[in-house]
Amino acid sequence: MTDGAQAGRWWRPRSLRTQLLLWLITLHLIATVLTAWFSFEAYGHLVHNALDDQMQLVAESYSGSDQPKTPRPMDGEAAFSRGAYIVQIWSADGTTLRATSWSVLSVPLQPRSGFSDVSTGSHAHSSWRVFTAEPGPRADQPRVQVLQNEDHRRRRALRRALLEGLPIALLLPVALLILWLIVSAASRSLRAVARDVASQDERSPTELSLARVPDEIAPLVGAFNNLLSRVRSAFATQRRFVQDAAHELRTPMAAIGLQIENLRAHVPAGEATDRFNQLEAGVTRAQHLIEQLLSLSRQDAPRRTTVREPVDIEVLLRESVSQLMVLADARRVDVGFEGSITSVVLAPAAELRSVFDNLIDNALRYAPEGGVVDVRLHEVDGHAVVDVLDNGPGIPEAAMGRVFDRFFRVPGAAAGGSGLGLTIARTAAERNGLRVELRNRDEGPGLRARVYLPLTAG
């Protein structure tokens, strides 16, 4: 990855939620600052003008008479904190301060009448807004001057501006919460789609529901559904091909098997018989492969609702063993069955047979000539299990993870297999709530195939 791409990722978080929240916070902060600034400017003028007007009115209420009323005395607290107007009554020539509401303040009568700004020191408190009333019509009339603390006026405008910005600032957490909820709902529906996708059976994918998908995501899900339907039809074509091919091969293969059987009596002893036996084994193997392919393609077909019926597992296992007795006899393998359970197994019988037929068939084929295969029905840690044990070579640990793959055969495994038996067994097991576990036996050579059974109360 380039540095630029890394930097890009740093600045732009991958989560849409974080991106939206960051943008929203930034925009809100900008809006709050702009509103506060704008209202500070606007309200500053407004407050300023209103206070100026009031000052002028106060001044006018004192001026205009020969003996203006005496201003009410006040203190510094009123001047600074409450912004009270300080009234000064000067002699007509402006040299003597006759009366004032706050004698501490020493601001002389301003030479020009009207508004002016005066500072009595460097402190923020020492700036004053001053209104000096026009001299009266007669020369001996006293002069009036009204003052107000400038710092108080500024604070008033600022407070007003901040109050204007406050609703926007308060809106931020609410907006964040709403956005959070909206994005969470959207990502929940995305997660639901992802769950839908994850739970798909890869051999027969079904359409994803568009019901709760946001409009922006709908085209993506639509395109995905389109792809799924193409995958489905590709699988169906492949399945049909395998099924048709296996089906078409079945009859001629059976005919060849019969012909071979009829020929046996006419084959001369010696090398010809050896070759004949090999031919017969090849045909048997091909017939087995065709049967396995047919089972596989049936498993791959979209699931029909299978009836889960109570199964007498003991009877089912005995049937499976006795059906494979021909193979056991041919290989002189000693097959034994033992055990029983009290609980009832609830599953489709045909599917259970498929699991056990394949496991017992493997045990019989991989056990050495004259070997031993045991089928045991018992309980382990309170769980009903079926163990199929043989004394064959077992499976190398490195190949354990792959033996359930289609057409996988352990290199050097005895001839005669198709690499499909375990795939068929596991697929049938999984879709009926069974679990198949393979492990090499601790007590000697051989494999233990264990099936955990789904039970109902016994």
Select from 320, 362, 391, 432 the one that contacts ligand ADP (CB under 6 A).
362
- Can residue 447 be called a binding residue for ligand ADP (CB under 6 A)? yes
For residue 413, the 8-state DSSP code is: P
Quick one: which segment of 178-186, 305-313, 349-357, 388-396 binds ligand ADP (CB under 6 A)? 388-396
User: Pick from 222, 257, 339, 393: which binds ligand ADP (CB under 6 A)?
Assistant: 393
Q: Which of 55, 89, 157, 395 binds ligand ADP (CB under 6 A)?
A: 395
429, 435, 438, 441 alpha-carbon torsion, rounded to 10°? -130
Name residue 352's amino acid.
L
The radius of gyration of the chain's CA atoms, rounded to the nearest angstrom, is 49
Residue closest to ligand ADP, measured at CB = 417
Question: Does 222 engage in binding with ligand ADP (CB under 6 A)?
Answer: no
Tell the smallest beta-carbon distance from residue 333 to ligand ADP (Å).
Answer: 12
Number of CB atoms found within 10 A of residue 295's CB:
21
User: Residue 207 or 291: which CB sits closer to ligand ADP?
Assistant: 291
Surface-to-core class of residue 64, CB atoms within 10 Å of its CB (0-12 exposed, 13-18 middle, 19+ buried): middle
Q: Judge contact between 438 and 448, C-beta under 8 A.
A: yes
Q: Identify any residues that bridge with 155 across adjacent strands, giving them in sequence order.
A: none
Alpha-carbon gap, residue 147 to 122, rounded angstroms: 18
Q: How far is the CB of 324 from ligand ADP (least distance, A)?
A: 13
Nearest distance from C-beta of residue 332 to ligand ADP, angstroms: 17
CB of 216 to ligand ADP, least distance (A): 46
In the complex, least distance from residue 421 CB atom to ligand ADP, rounded to whole angstroms: 3
Query: Which C-beta is closer to ligand ADP: that of 58 or that of 360?
Result: 360
394 interacts with ligand ADP by CB under 6 A: yes
Q: How far is the CB of 338 from ligand ADP (least distance, A)?
A: 19
CA distance 110 to 127: 14
Among 430, 454, 450, residue whose Cα is nearest residue 440: 450
Neighbours of 11 (CB within 10 A): 7
| Count of positions (residues) in the chain | 458
State in angstroms the smallest separation of the CB of 2 from ligand ADP: 47
For the chain, the farthest-separated pair of C-alpha atoms sits apart, in whole angstroms, at 160
Number of residues that bind ligand ADP (CB under 6 A): 21
- Nearer to ligand ADP by Cβ, of 55 and 363: the residue is 363
CB of 444 to ligand ADP, least distance (A): 13
**Distance (Å) of CA 333 to CA 222, 330, 368:** 57, 8, 8
In angstroms, what is the minimal distance from the CB of 433 to ligand ADP?
21
Residue 203 makes contact with ligand ADP by CB under 6 A: no
Minimum CB separation of residue 197 from ligand ADP in Å reads: 29
Numbers of helices and strands, H then E, in the chain = 11, 13
**Whole-number Cα distances in Å, 450 to 307, 375, 381, 382, 386:** 24, 10, 13, 15, 6
Choose one: 104-112, 215-223, 242-250, 385-393; the region binding ligand ADP (CB under 6 A): 385-393
Residue 142, interface with ligand ADP (CB under 6 A)? no
Closest contact distance (angstroms) between CB of 277 and ligand ADP is 20
Query: Which one of residues 221, 392, 432, 450 is an interface residue with ligand ADP (CB under 6 A)?
Result: 392
Q: Give the nearer residue to ligand ADP in terms of CB position, either 83 or 445.
A: 445
What is the contact mask toward ligand ADP in residues 21 to 40, using x (rule: CB under 6 A)? Answer: --------------------
Binding of ligand ADP by 390 (CB under 6 A) = yes
Binding positions for ligand ADP, 396-425, rule CB under 6 A: 403, 408-410, 413, 417-423
Task: Give the ranges where 216-348 is alpha helix by DSSP (H).
Answer: 218-263, 271-300, 313-323, 325-330
Does residue 333 belong to the site contacting ligand ADP (CB under 6 A)?
A: no
393-402: long-range contacts, CB 8 A cutoff, minimum separation 24:
393/366, 393/445, 393/446, 394/440, 394/441, 394/445, 394/446, 394/447, 395/438, 395/440, 395/447, 397/440, 400/438, 400/439
366 binds ligand ADP (CB under 6 A): yes
Chain positions contacting ligand ADP, by CB under 6 A: 362-363, 366, 390, 392-395, 403, 408-410, 413, 417-423, 447
